[in-house]
Amino acid sequence: MRFGAIFLIALPIAAQHGRYVSESQHPAIGDPKAIAEGAKLYATSCTGCHGPDGSGGRGPNLVKRSLWHPLRDEAIYNAIRNGVPGTDMPPTKLPEDQTWNLVAFLHALIGPASDNSVPGDAGAGEQVFWGTKAGCSNCHSIRGKGGRMGPDLTNIGGSSPLAVIKESVLEPSKDLMFLGNEGATVTLKSGKTMKGIARNRDNYSLQLIDEKGELHLLSMSDVKELKILDHSPMPGDYRQRLSQDELRDLLAYLSRQVARPRGTIRKANN
Amino acid sequence: MTRSALTAFLISACASAQVSFEDISKGPSENWLTYAGSYPGWRYSPLKQITPANAKLMSPKWVYRVPDARGLRMSPLVYKGVMYITNTNAVYALDARSGRLVWQYRDARAKGGGVNRGAAILGDRVYFTSSDNYLTALDRQSGALIFSRQFADVEKGTTSTSAPLIVKDKVIVGSAGGDGGMRGFIAALSAANGDEIWRTWTVPAKGEPGSETWSGFAEWGGGATWLSGTFDRETNTLYWTTGNPWPDFAGTPRLGDNLYTCSLLALDLDTGKWKWHFQFTPHDTHDWDAQSWPILLDMEFRGRMRKVVLHANRNGFFYVLDRITGEFLRGTPLIDKVTWASGIDDKGRPVLIPGKDPTPEGNWVCPSVKGATNWMGQSYNPTTGLLYVLTLEQCGMYNSSSQEPVPMKNFAGGGATEEGGQVLLRAIDPKTAKRAWEYPMTGAGRMWTGTVSTAGGVVFTGDDDGQMLALDAKTGKLLWHFNMSETLTASPITYAVDGKQYVAIASATAIFSFGLFEPAEPLTPPKVTFGK
């Protein structure tokens, strides 16, 4: 499936990404038609300030919001209709139904990627993920297969918006939040050297997953030297390493990774 | 090889090891691999570094504050220096020497709250259940998700609180929610992928044997199975207890014995088929779930060796049954004040004292709704031959209500109070049911702490005032105490890393680990550099 614009399939799962807490009853929310209409409106009216993918510019980033107050569909609706006083966000003169189309699009953009029909061939993306060119599975696991060094991606589509997944692939060091995922090289007093990920550390102990995925619980009294990477251990060259199609397909595959697929309950419980 | 290199090598070698059924069968060692420590449910460890002679030197080694915890009821697992603990819909792996977090898994999509009693471990996986009945398997070393499968419908009133019990290739899970109306079950799920292998209902469907013991409400009749069971490897039998009938305090809408609530079930591991059952409290109207550990023991009884199961019951009596046949052998008072039954007859049925059901104006009955004991872990110590049971001497007012019972509205057909009373740790000789000693506690009767006992001759428990205790297993003499300053609602374990014995317990909000005092060694933190 290849689509020019992001749009949403039927929305059985309420958007649960981080701070987006509301489950609006408005029929536009989750309606693919409304979302497609909203995407057009967004492209013409909003990208100038909020960026084509919602990542911000003159206006705030809509996907990775800096404010931690709960966000609701109704609040987005009111912000679009009335603007935000004291800022450059103007009131719009959009009719009610079009405003709701725009809200539906934003809801889809901010919600987990698995709620959206992300463009790309997930089957081809699966090959990219498990293949040697990208090498994702050397460090990341999905459903118990793959490496242990990087974060588990079994629920990445169920927990993160597409824009966040994309940024993590292309610019892994952007956020500088590596706690629990620090690249580390340890030299023990015995002379032995280990490389891996520091899952945790303080001045007294170190919990390290090595390159083979084995966990080591080390006492700092046994450690001679510890080198910590000042950037994410994830390669930062995926824009060059993968073609645009491969990247798109990889994102489509990752977006479909959900820990709790619907409809798994068995009949026996009735 | 230097000591530090050897340590690093050993830990590294251990990390790739796998937990097998044989490992769990052997019972506790330096590891603690299942909720009750061993399949017979003894909560007994062969560790003996801490003894009555040196327990006075115990001190806290570390504390881990569990995020969002309010009333932890979990018993930790330990394997090769890593401790696995749970809170509601969450698992944490800790470095068991330092209490530092290795990984955490929090299921943000899980619906509902409720307590969680712990995890299970097999192979390279850690298992736990969420409050909305998903069995989740995680990679032991990284916390990565392997599968998450739902085994029961939360919309039918069922939730999940117990630690799974892993036997061979099966993960045995129970069901909670019996105070709100539901139908209890025990299910065996595949450890490989969560597939259901069998499911045994604890309340019969219409027309099935036992259904004649319900005049109504059997479809919501409870019999929840919210505590893990025990397992007899020799006979391939699971022993599992069931909870109260629903509505809890209203007996009239459900006349009859209400099988198989407040019972002990013996089930075949491979098929889930019934071997026998024993009902402790027929037609319970006091919320006396039978959730207390069925402890498996081979012991001399009236001159001959018997394979027995011990059960200290919430209803105030201490039972001994033949675990092969289910034959009732003995029922004696567990506590001093029992007012609803004058004893247990020779078939195992309580001899009722009339007029003890809940009434609209309230009926004063002993024991209280909290029971003479409850789900807290008991310990059987083969070196002393004693069973250590936390008991509660408490009475309460039981009220009935004329309101129509409505399933899943948490209407229990009345209510009950818990008033005053006292918790006492009692050491009981199971051969005679006589008390060897008892340790009375101060407090408000709110604790749910269990025990662990050791080959070193020490019983560890918590008291009713938030203190961690070490007692002499032979005499009950207090050896050491430490004020944890929170109501204790979890059972302790003991484990060892690098040859050092630790004792760990959850307070309401944190995990504490204790060991023998050692002077701090000067440590110069190593050189840490940041770069490319």
pLDDT, tens digit, for every residue of B392-404? 999 999 999 988 8
Do A260 and A163 lie in one domain? The reply is yes
Identify the weakest region by mean pLDDT among A9-23, A54-68, B270-284, B364-378.
Answer: A9-23
Contacts of A270 in chain B (CB under 8 A): 153, 156
- With a cut of 70, say whether residue A105 has pLDDT above it: yes
User: Are A100 and A222 in a shared domain?
Assistant: no
pLDDT at A266 over 80: no
Whole-number Å distance between alpha carbons of B163 and B72: 13
Which chain A residues touch B192 with a CB distance below 8 Å? none
| CA distance, residue B327 to nearest chain A CA (Å) | 32
Q: In the predicted model, what is the mean pLDDT of residues B18-34?
A: 98
pLDDT tens for B331-364 read 999 999 999 999 999 999 999 999 999 999 999 9
Instruction: Report yes or no on A259 lying in a domain.
Output: yes
pLDDT of B74 higher than 80: yes
pLDDT of residue A184: 96
Report CB contact under 8 Å: A152, B144: yes
Q: What are the C-alpha distances in Å from A203 to residues A206, A227, B98, B129?
A: 8, 13, 12, 35
N-terminal to C-terminal alpha carbon distance within chain A: 37
A241 touches chain B (CB under 8 A): no
Closest CB to A190 among B2, B97, B153: B2
Q: CA-nearest residue of chain A to B8?
A: A218
B176, B158 Cβ separation under 8 angstroms: yes
Identify the band that residue A55 occupies on the pLDDT scale cut at 50, 70 and 90.
confident
Q: What is the pLDDT of residue A17?
A: 34
Instruction: Establish if A205 belongs to a structural domain.
Output: yes
Contact between residue B502 and residue B98 where contact means Cβ atoms under 8 Å apart: no
Q: Are residues A141 and A206 in the same domain?
A: no
Q: How close, in Å, is residue B305 to chain A by CA atoms?
A: 42
* Chain B interface includes A200 (CB < 8 A): yes
Is residue B201 predicted with pLDDT exceeding 70?
A: yes
The enclosing H or E element of B434 equals strand B434-440
Chain B interface, mutation test: which of A13, A178, A217, most B Cβ atoms within 10 Å? A217
Residue of chain A nearest B198, judged by CA positions: A268
Phi, psi of A255 (to 5 degrees): -65, -25
Is a pLDDT exceeding 90 seen at residue A188? yes
Q: How far apart are CA B413 and CA B422, in angstroms?
A: 27
Contact A226 B148 (CB under 8 A): no
Mean pLDDT of the region A46-52: 88
* Cβ–Cβ gap B4/A209 under 8 Å: no
Domain boundaries, position A201 = 182-228
Q: Are A258 and A162 found together in one domain?
A: yes
Q: Based on the fold, state whether residues A71 and A34 are members of the same structural domain.
A: yes
pLDDT above 70: percentage of residues in chain A = 84
**A40 & A86 share domain:** yes
pLDDT given for residue A24 in this prediction:
63
Query: Is the pLDDT reported for residue A68 higher than 80?
Result: no
Q: Is residue A117 pLDDT above 90, yes or no?
A: no
Is the Cβ pair A229, B95 closer than 8 Å? no
Q: How confident is the model at residue A177 (pLDDT cuts 50, 70, 90)?
A: low
- Check if A21 contacts B (Cβ < 8 Å): no
Mean pLDDT of B425-454: 96
CA-CA distances (angstroms) from residue B169 to A13, B21, B36, B450? 33, 8, 19, 28
**B interface test, pick of A227, A260, A262, A264 with most B CB neighbours within 10 Å:** A260
In a domain, A117, yes or no: no
CA distance to partner chain B, nearest, from residue A270 (Å): 8
Say yes or no to pLDDT of A5 above 70.
Answer: no
Q: Find the residue in A nearest to B522 (Cα).
A: A221
Q: Which of B248, B284, B287, B465 is catalytic?
A: B287
The reply to whether A1 falls in a domain is no
Copy the structure tokens of residue B413: 């057909």
Q: Are residues A106 and A195 in the same domain?
A: no
Do the Cβ atoms of B100 and A219 come within 8 Å?
no
Q: What is the pLDDT of residues B178-195, one digit of tens each?
A: 999 999 999 999 999 999
By Cβ distance, the residue of A201, A222, A259 closest to B145 is A259
CATH number of the domain within which A206 lies: 2.30.30.100
What pLDDT score does A57 carry?
85
Whether residues A168 and A187 fall in one domain: no
Identify the three-state secondary structure at position A43.
helix
Q: Kindly state whether residues A146 and A249 are assigned to the same domain.
A: yes
CB-based contact A218 B142, cutoff 8 Å: no
Cβ neighbors of B458 (< 8 A, separation 6 or more) are: B50, B51, B52, B55, B470, B471, B472, B473, B479
pLDDT at A108: 83
B2 pLDDT above the threshold of 60: no
Does position A118 have pLDDT exceeding 90, yes or no?
no
DSSP category for residue B19: B
Same domain membership, residue A60 and residue A17? yes
Cβ of B97 within 8 Å of Cβ of A205? The answer is yes
Cβ contact, residue pair A158, B152, below 8 Å: no
Residue A52 has pLDDT above 90, yes or no: no
Structural domain contains residue A78:
yes
**Which of A107-116, B363-372, B433-442 has the lowest average pLDDT?**
A107-116
Residue A119: pLDDT band with limits 50, 70, 90: confident
Q: Which two tokens stand for residue A243?
A: 């073609």
Question: Are the beta carbons of B12 and A204 separated by less than 8 Å?
Answer: no
ipTM field: 0.88
Which of the pair, A36 or B90, is modelled with greater confidence?
Answer: B90
- Assess whether A96 and A157 both reside in one domain: no
Instruction: Examine the pLDDT at A202 and tell me if it is beyond 60.
Output: yes
- Measured between CB atoms, does A17 come within 8 Å of chain B? no
Query: B115-156 pLDDT, tens per residue?
Result: 999 999 999 999 999 999 999 999 999 999 999 999 999 999
pLDDT value of position A70: 62
Q: Which residues of B touch A226 (CB under 8 A)?
A: 526-529
Residue B44: band (very low, low, confident or very high) from pLDDT cuts 50, 70, 90: very high
Contact A230 B530 (CB under 8 A): yes
- Select the residue from B3, B4, B125 to test the A interface by mutation, using most A Cβ atoms within 10 A: B4
Q: Identify the structural domains of chain B with CATH numbers, from first to last.
A: 38-516 (2.140.10.10)
pLDDT band, residue A110 (cuts 50/70/90): confident
Average pLDDT over residues A194-215: 95
Q: Are B44 and B90 in contact (CB under 8 A)?
A: no
Residues of B in contact with A20 (CB under 8 A): none
B139 is catalytic: no
Quick check: B4 and A222 CB within 8 A? yes
Is residue B8's pLDDT more than 70?
A: no
CA–CA dist A111, A116 (Å, integer): 8
Question: Which pLDDT band, with edges at 50, 70 and 90, does A13 fall under?
Answer: very low
- What would the pLDDT profile of B255-290 be if each residue is shown by its tens digit? 999 999 999 999 999 999 999 999 999 999 999 999
> Does residue A240 surpass a pLDDT of 50?
yes
Higher pLDDT, B242 or B409: B242
Dist. CA B344–CA A269, nearest whole Å: 37
Nearest to B199 among A159, A205, A268 (CB): A268
Per-residue pLDDT at B41 exceeds 90: yes
A26 falls within a domain? yes
Tokens of A134: 């990208």
Candidate from B1, B15, B139 with C-beta closest to A216: B15
**Tokens 């003991």 found at:** B494
- What is the rounded distance in angstroms from the CA atom of residue B166 to the CA atom of residue B173? 9
Q: Which pLDDT value is given to residue A22?
A: 46
Instruction: Tell me which residues of chain A, numbers 63 to 102, contact chain B at a CB-CB cutoff of 8 Å.
Output: none
Instruction: Report the pLDDT averaged over residues A153-170.
Output: 91
For residue A168, what is the domain's CATH number?
1.10.760.10
| Local structure of B106: helix, strand or coil | strand
Q: How close does chain B come to A185, measured CA to CA in Å?
A: 10
* A177 lies in some domain: no
pLDDT-above-90 percentage for chain A: 55
SS3 for A161?
coil
Q: Are residues A265 and A142 in the same domain?
A: yes
Inform me whether the pLDDT recorded for B385 exceeds 90: yes
Of A207, A214, A259, the CB nearest to B95: A207
Q: Which residue of A has its CA nearest to B527?
A: A225
Q: Are A133 and A241 in contact (CB under 8 A)?
A: yes
B407 — pLDDT class (breaks 50, 70, 90): confident
Round the average pLDDT of chain B to a whole number and report it. Answer: 94
How far apart are the C-alpha atoms of B293 and B397, rounded to whole Å?
Answer: 26
Name the pLDDT band for B411 (thresholds 50, 70, 90).
Answer: low
Question: Which pLDDT value is given to residue A174?
Answer: 81
Taking the Cβ of residue A270 and every Cβ of chain B, the question of whether any pair is shorter than 8 Å is answered with yes
Q: How confident is the model at residue B517 (pLDDT cuts 50, 70, 90)?
A: very high
- Select the more confidently predicted residue: A227 or A119: A227
Instruction: Provide the pLDDT confidence category of residue B12 given band limits of 50, 70 and 90.
Output: very low
Q: Which of A111, A146, A163 is the last residue of a domain?
A: A111
Task: Tell me what pLDDT residue A260 has.
Answer: 77
When divided into structural domains, chain A yields a total of 3
Q: Which residues of B touch A201 (CB under 8 A)?
A: 100
The pLDDT of residue B310 is 98
Q: Mean pLDDT throughout B200-228?
A: 96
The reported pLDDT for the residue numbered A67 is 57
Question: Does A16 fall in a domain?
Answer: yes
A11 pLDDT band (50/70/90 cuts)?
A: very low
Flag whether residue A248 sits within 8 Å of chain B, measured between CB atoms.
Answer: no
Alpha-carbon distance B236 to A109, whole Å? 54
Would you call B145 and A222 a contact, using CB atoms and an 8 Å cutoff?
Answer: no
Contact yes or no for A144 and B199 at CB 8 A: no
The closest alpha carbon to B431, from B318, B525, B518, B265, belongs to B318
Chain A nearest C-alpha distance from B447 (Å): 34
| Whole-angstrom distance, CA of residue B413 vs CA of residue B400 | 6
Q: B139 and A214: CB-CB below 8 Å? A: no
